[in-house]
């Protein structure tokens, strides 16, 4: 017999996985768009958060398409966190595609094609279709057999009789054998609520009718109410896809069913380049759907971190892509100041953030500032809570000092090993001694550079 025990007061498990930005839940703004001091996982960066809040409002009102933003600031000042918070504020239905500048360089696909692919991933299309469907609870499911026309001993399914019941009445349907195969794939039985599309014959199992619900608390089935209205009705079905999904669907080779064509499909490389001609054709169909009111375009966000890794060719292509009639909102991030542009002829010329002047003119630049000691102390405290670690006030102050003098990332990285040391020593809290021991075991970047400068030859 299976025993299930209810657990109360569940503590955060030390085995739960925490990523670099697990604590970010949103921009942390009030109803007037003013940044709260500590909210949504953010501490400080009020100006940058408020600027991102305005960007979110513009995206929601569809007034930012084809424009670009640059998040500029030092390492560890929350640029990636801001981009992630923008995506969370937009909601799950708005596409968000995060990449790093170096991801575009591949041996298989041209860098400009890789950039356009990510552009298309960040543009959503919401298709609204009004379909003719038969919906109801299955009260009869009878396959009718017939003699095999090709001879032999076996029998084939000639048709299937399906009885559907709704709150208003019942209807018996005589269906094609191919629909019976779809019914079998969905594992439909008597008592299930299903709907069958009249045009395509596609079958969808919604769930088990709640008339069959039992008194048990734990059920493997999902129970749904008996559908209202008639069995035969029209229903609005909404589907969300990206333009890249449409590109891929139309780029697949449509061969015959013979062995040679199937082998050709198997041997075709999986990562093939989608041509500009194909994208143009897809755009024409999408524009036609939008004009007819069948579909709605949802420009998402393409986030490119370490934008200084892009070269002059990609920047030129990016300028052109931003001017396209169908373009997402592009958010760039850079922690570099004046630096050379990769691939430019004159290596001595330095450009701001590693971007060409013509692209910089197009950007709305949001600056992120370094955190002060009190803000770093709050961040370390929140991160420790997230990781299920208890830290003494003195240890917290010491980590905050490290965050100012060395880097915020180094201070945060010391938390996990200090937690292991305190647990090994039999303490429930991380103390200053644990932090000091971690400093001896793990070097920061400055001490590491000092060691290398003092060492000649090999380490």
pLDDT at 364 over 50: yes
Q: How confident is the model at residue 346 (pLDDT cuts 50, 70, 90)?
A: confident
Which domains does the chain carry? 38-122+300-368 (3.40.50.300), 128-240 (2.40.50.360), 243-290 (no CATH), 373-453 (1.10.8.60)
φ/ψ (deg, to 5) at 35: -75, 130
Give the length of the chain: 459
Between 307 and 237, whose confidence is greater? 307
pLDDT at 233 (0 to 100): 83
Q: Which residues contact 306 (CB under 8 A, 6 or more apart)?
A: 100, 101, 102, 333, 334, 335
pLDDT at 152 over 70: no
Q: pLDDT tens digits, residue range 240-298?
A: 888 888 888 877 655 544 554 544 544 555 455 678 888 888 888 888 888 888 888 88
Between 443 and 260, whose confidence is greater? 443
Which 3 state secondary structure label does DSSP give 244?
helix
pLDDT at 273 (0 to 100): 61
Q: How far is CA 71 from the centre of its chain?
A: 20
Q: How confident is the model at residue 154 (pLDDT cuts 50, 70, 90)?
A: low
pLDDT at 150 (0 to 100): 63
Residue 72 in contact with residue 365, Cβ under 8 Å? yes
The mean pLDDT value for 318-340 works out to 87
C-alpha–C-alpha distance, residues 271 and 106, integer Å: 11
C-alpha–C-alpha distance, residues 309 and 302, integer Å: 16
φ/ψ (deg, to 5) at 287: -60, -40
Q: pLDDT tens digits, residue range 80-134?
A: 889 888 888 888 778 888 899 888 887 778 888 888 889 999 988 888 877 888 8
pLDDT at 72 (0 to 100): 92
pLDDT at 442 (0 to 100): 92
Strands 155-165 and 203-209, by their bridges, are unpaired
pLDDT at 25 over 90: no
Give strand pairing partners of 204: 195
Average pLDDT score over the chain? 82
The mean pLDDT value for 411-439 works out to 90
Q: Which residues contact 52 (CB under 8 A, 6 or more apart)?
A: 27, 82, 85, 86, 366
pLDDT at 392 (0 to 100): 92
Separation in Å, CA 248 to CA 200, 243, 252, 327, 344: 22, 9, 6, 18, 33
Indicate the pTM of the whole model: 0.69
pLDDT at 365 (0 to 100): 92
Q: Which residues contact 1 (CB under 8 A, 6 or more apart)?
A: none
Q: How confident is the model at residue 358 (pLDDT cuts 50, 70, 90)?
A: confident
Q: How confident is the model at residue 147 (pLDDT cuts 50, 70, 90)?
A: confident
Out of 5-19, 100-114, 216-230, give the one with best mean pLDDT.
100-114
pLDDT at 11 (0 to 100): 45
pLDDT at 328 over 90: no
Separation in Å, CA 384 to CA 296, 417, 435: 44, 12, 13
Q: Which residues contact 414 (CB under 8 A, 6 or more apart)?
A: 399, 402, 435, 438, 439, 442
pLDDT at 418 over 80: yes
């Amino acid at each position: 017999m299976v025993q299930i025990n209810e657990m109360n007061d569940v503590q955060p498990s030390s085995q739960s996985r925490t990523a670099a930005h697990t604590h970010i839940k949103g921009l942390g703004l009030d109803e007037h768009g003013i940044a709260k001091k500590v909210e949504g996982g953010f501490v400080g960066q009020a100006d940058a958060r408020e600027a991102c809040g305005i960007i979110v409002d513009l995206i929601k009102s569809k007034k930012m398409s084809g424009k670009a933003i640059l998040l500029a600031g030092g390492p560890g000042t929350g640029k990636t966190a801001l981009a992630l918070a923008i995506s969370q504020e937009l909601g799950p239905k708005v596409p968000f595609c995060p990449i790093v500048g170096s991801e575009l360089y591949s041996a298989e696909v041209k860098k400009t094609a890789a950039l356009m692919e990510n552009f298309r991933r960040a543009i959503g299309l919401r298709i609204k279709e009004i379909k003719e469907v038969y919906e109801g609870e299955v009260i009869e499911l009878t396959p009718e057999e017939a003699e095999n026309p090709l001879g032999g001993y076996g029998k084939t399914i000639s048709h299937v009789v399906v009885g559907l019941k709704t709150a208003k009445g019942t209807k018996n349907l005589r269906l094609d054998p191919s629909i019976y195969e779809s019914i079998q794939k969905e594992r439909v039985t008597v008592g299930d609520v299903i709907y069958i599309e009249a045009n395509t014959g596609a079958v969808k199992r919604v769930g088990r009718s709640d008339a069959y619900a039992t008194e048990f608390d734990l059920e493997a089935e999902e129970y749904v109410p008996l559908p209202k209205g008639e069995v035969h009705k029209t229903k609005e079905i909404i589907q969300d896809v990206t333009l890249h999904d449409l590109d891929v669907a139309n780029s697949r080779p449509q061969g015959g069913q013979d062995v040679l064509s199937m082998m050709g499909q198997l041997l075709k490389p999986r990562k093939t380049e989608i041509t500009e001609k194909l994208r143009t054709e897809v755009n024409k169909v999408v524009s036609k759907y939008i004009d007819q009111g069948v579909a709605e375009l949802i420009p998402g966000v393409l986030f490119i971190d370490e934008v200084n890794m892009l070269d002059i060719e990609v920047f030129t292509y990016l300028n052109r892509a931003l001017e396209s009639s169908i373009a997402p909102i592009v958010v760039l991030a850079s922690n570099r100041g004046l630096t050379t542009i990769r691939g430019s002829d004159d290596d001595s010329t330095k450009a701001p953030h590693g971007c060409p002047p013509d692209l910089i003119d197009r950007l709305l630049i949001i600056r992120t500032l370094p955190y002060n000691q009190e803000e770093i102390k709050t961040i370390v405290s929140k991160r420790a809570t997230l990781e299920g670690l208890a830290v003494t006030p003195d240890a917290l102050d010491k980590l905050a000092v490290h965050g100012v003098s060395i880097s915020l990332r180094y201070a945060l990285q010391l938390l996990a090993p200090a937690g292991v040391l305190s647990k090994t020593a039999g303490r429930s809290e991380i103390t200053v001694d644990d932090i000091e021991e971690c400093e001896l075991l793990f070097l920061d970047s400055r001490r590491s550079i000092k060691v290398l400068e003092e060492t000649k030859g090999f380490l």
